[in-house]
Amino acid sequence: MPTTSAEPPGESRSLSRAVLVAACCLALAGCTSPRADDPPPRPSPSEAADSALPPTAPVPPDLLAAFRRVLDRRASALLAHDLDAFRSGVAARGAFRGEQETYFANLAQLPLATVSYEIDPGSLLRRGDHYWVAVDVSLQLAGYDAVPVASVDRYRFSPSPRHPSRFVLSSVSDAAWEERQEVRPQPWDLGPVVVRQGRGVLGVFDEGSVEAADPLIRSVERGVADVGARVPEAWDGAVVVYALSDRTFLATLDDVPGGDPEVLDALTFPVAAGRDDATVASTRFVLSPEMVARAGPQRDRLVRHELTHVALGKRDDDAPLWLSEGIAEYVSVQSLAPEDRRLERAALEAAEAGVDALPADGTFNDDGSAAHYGLSWWACEYVARTYGEPMLWSLLDQIPTGGEQQERLEMVLGLRPRQLARRSALLMIRTFDPGFLQPEPSATASPSGTPSAVPTTEPSAPGG
C-alpha cells in the first residue's frame, strides 16, 4: 500500500544492531525522560555514529544478569497488571515515577499476549554509577498481532537507594539517541490513553476523544462487515484504530502521502515484526482529530476506505496509486445508494476539462490529490462495470508500478492508460453531470419533459 504505509514493510533503518523500524513499529519504552537536573549524556562524535563508548570502570561480570532480572520482573508485572511489582523496578523519584505509572495504566488496558525485553550487550555505556543500554522490546496484542512486534530504545539502570547492590530503571528514554535511531513512539508512549474494544476492533482514544469511542467503534464494526463481504482476501476482520484528540502521534510519522501529516484525514500503516524481520504483524489505521469528531456518512466512508487497505494487506503494495487508492474508494461507496455517492467537485471539473492520463504516482498526493482520488475511483468503476468486479482484484496482481504499466494494461484490458483515463472520465461525467454532454438547446427546441439529475458534489477527503 504505497499510499498508506508510513514506511513500507521491508525498509530498513540503520541502528546499532541493524534494527528494523517500520512506519509505526511499536516503541514500548514509555513516555518518560530523565529529570531536568539529570539529563542523558551528550553524545560525543563517536556516539553520534552509534558506536558504544567503553565503560569508565570495569563492569561487574553479573551486571547484565542483574539488568535482565529487572526487565524480566517488569515484563511479568505488565502482563499480570501488578502495579507494586512494576514500581519495585522503577526509581521512586519525581516525575519519572508518575510517568511510568501512566505508562503502566496505558498498557493495563491493552490485550497483551506478550511482553519481553532483550538487552544489546554491545551497547553498554557507563556514566558514574549509571548504565545506559539499548533494549529491544517485544509486545504482541492478543487477537490483533500475528507475531510479537519488536522495537528498540535506550534504558538507564541506576543503583537502588534502598538496596545499592540492586538496580532500578531511572530512565526509559533518551531523546537525542531516539532521534538518531528514528525510534517511533506509539500513542501509549506519549501520554494517557483510553482503550475501548468492539467485535474485532481495538480503539485507542484519549480523554479528549473518548466521547467518540462508541459510535466510532460501531462504524468500524459495520465497515469491517461491508469491506469483508467485498474484498476477496483471507482477512480475520480484526483491526486496531488510533483515534486521538491531537496530532502528536501523526506528527511522528514519516513518508506520509503528500509529505505533511498535518493535512491527513487518515492513514493506514503496516506494523513490521522488526529487527531484520519484515513480517507484517498487523495493519492499523489512524484518524485525524477532525475526523474523529465528525460522526456521520463521510467518516463512515473514510473508515471503509482505510479498512480496504487493511484487508488487502500487502497485496496492493506494488500496484500504482491510481489502482490501490481507486479500489479503496470504489469499495468505500458500494454500501451506499447511488444517489449518496459523493464526488469531489475538483474531480468532476478535471474530467470535464479533459484528461489524457491516469494519475501518476509521483504527483498523486500533490495539490491536485482531490481530483486524483476521484479520477482513480472512476477508473475502477469503469473496469468493474465493463469487465466485472473480479477484474479489479486481478489488476492488483498484474499491473505494476513503473514502465511496464502500459504494456500490462493493454494485455489485460486491451486499453492503453490514456484510453482508460478518457473512458472513465466520460463515465463520471455521464453519472454526475449528464447535461455537460448535451448540445445547447436551440431557441425553437421544446422541452423534453425528462429531468436530468445531477448528483451534488461536495468535498470529501479520503485517506491514504
Predicted confidence (pLDDT) per residue in 124-137, tens digit: 999 998 999 999 99
In this predicted structure, the answer to whether residue 241 has a pLDDT above a threshold of 50 is: yes
Closest CA to 34 of 129, 178, 155: 155
pLDDT at 321: 94
Instruction: pLDDT band for 259, please (50, 70, 90 cuts).
Output: low
Contacts with 55 (C-beta within 8 Å, 6 or more apart), sequence order: 124, 125, 126, 131
Task: Work out the average pLDDT over 28-52.
Answer: 40
Q: What is the percent of the chain with per-residue pLDDT over 90, rounded to a whole number?
A: 62
Instruction: pLDDT band for 114, please (50, 70, 90 cuts).
Output: very high
pLDDT at 273: 87
In this predicted structure, the answer to whether residue 38 has a pLDDT above a threshold of 70 is: no
pLDDT at 72: 97
First to last CA, the chain: 9
Task: Work out the average pLDDT over 11-40.
Answer: 35
> Contact at 8 Å (CB) between 244 and 204?
yes
Task: Choose between 39 and 220: higher pLDDT.
Answer: 220
C-alpha cell at 12: 530498513
In this predicted structure, the answer to whether residue 17 has a pLDDT above a threshold of 60 is: no
> Contact at 8 Å (CB) between 439 and 414?
no
For residue range 341-373, list pLDDT tens digits in order. Answer: 999 999 999 999 999 999 999 999 988 999 999
Burial string for 321-345 (b: 16+ CB within 10 Å, else e) reads bbbbbbbbbbbbbebeeeeebbbbb
Instruction: pLDDT band for 65, please (50, 70, 90 cuts).
Output: very high
pLDDT at 464: 65
Task: Work out the average pLDDT over 396-417.
Answer: 87
pLDDT at 33: 36
Average pLDDT of the chain, as a whole number: 83
Q: How far is CA 93 from CA 97, 134, 161, 163, 228, in A?
A: 6, 23, 11, 15, 50
What Rg value do the Cα atoms of the chain yield, rounded? 26
Instruction: Sort 135 into a burial class: Cβ within 10 Å, 0-12 / 13-18 / 19+.
Output: buried
Q: Among the listed ranges 103-112, 172-181, 194-203, 282-291, which one has the minimum average pLDDT value?
A: 172-181
Instruction: pLDDT band for 296, please (50, 70, 90 cuts).
Output: very high
- Residue 157 β-bridge partners: 131, 169
Instruction: Sort 9 into a burial class: Cβ within 10 Å, 0-12 / 13-18 / 19+.
Output: buried
For residue range 436-446, list pLDDT tens digits in order. Answer: 877 655 544 44
Instruction: pLDDT band for 147, please (50, 70, 90 cuts).
Output: very high
pLDDT at 275: 67
Backbone angles phi, psi at 68, to 5 degrees: -65, -35
Q: Among the listed ranges 118-122, 264-268, 424-428, 444-448, which one has the minimum average pLDDT value?
A: 444-448
The torsion angle over the Cα atoms of residues 102, 23, 238 and 288, rounded to 10 degrees, is 70
pLDDT at 93: 77
In this predicted structure, the answer to whether residue 82 has a pLDDT above a threshold of 80 is: yes
Q: State the amino acid at position 29 in one-letter form.
A: A
> Contact at 8 Å (CB) between 365 and 3?
yes
> Contact at 8 Å (CB) between 165 and 66?
no
Instruction: Sort 402 into a burial class: Cβ within 10 Å, 0-12 / 13-18 / 19+.
Output: exposed
Measured CA to CA, the distance from residue 460 to residue 373 in angstroms comes to: 10
Structural domains of the chain, ranges and CATH numbers in brackets: 45-183 (3.10.450.50), 187-312 (3.30.2010.30), 318-438+454-464 (no CATH)
Instruction: pLDDT band for 212, please (50, 70, 90 cuts).
Output: very high
Measured CA to CA, the distance from residue 158 to residue 156 in angstroms comes to: 7
One-letter-per-residue 3-state SS of the chain = CCCCCCCCCCCCCCCCCCCCCCCCCCCCCCCCCCCCCCCCCCCCHHHHCCCCCCCCCCCCCCHHHHHHHHHHHHHHHHHHCCHHHHHHCECCCHHHHHHHHHHHHHHHCCCEEEEEEEECHHHCEEECCEEEEEEEEEEEECCCCCCCEEEEEEEEEEECCCCCCCEEEEECCCHHHHHHHCCCCCHHHHCCCEEEEECCEEEEECCCCHHHHHHHHHHHHHHHHHHHHHCCCCCCCCEEEEECCCCCCHHHCCCCHHHCHHHCCEEEEEEEEECCEEEEEEEEEEECHHHHCCCCHHHHHHHHHHHHHHHHHHHHCCCCHHHHHHHHHHHHHCCCCHHHCCCCHHHHHHHHHCCCCCCCHHHCCCCCHHHHHHHHHHHHHHHHHHHCCHHHHHHHHHCCCCCCHHHHHHHHHCCCHHHHHHHHHHHHHHHHCHHHHCCCCCCCCCCCCCCCCCCCCCCCCCCC
pLDDT at 367: 87
CB atoms within 10 A of CB 450: 6
pLDDT at 463: 54
Task: Work out the average pLDDT over 65-75.
Answer: 96
pLDDT at 404: 80
Q: pTM for this structure?
A: 0.82
Q: Among the listed ranges 218-227, 377-386, 389-398, 448-457, which one has the minimum average pLDDT value?
A: 448-457
For residue range 410-426, list pLDDT tens digits in order. Answer: 999 999 999 999 999 99
Closest CA to 328 of 373, 290, 294: 373
Closest CA to 411 of 425, 427, 423, 394: 394
Task: Choose between 10 and 359: higher pLDDT.
Answer: 359
Task: Work out the average pLDDT over 297-325.
Answer: 94
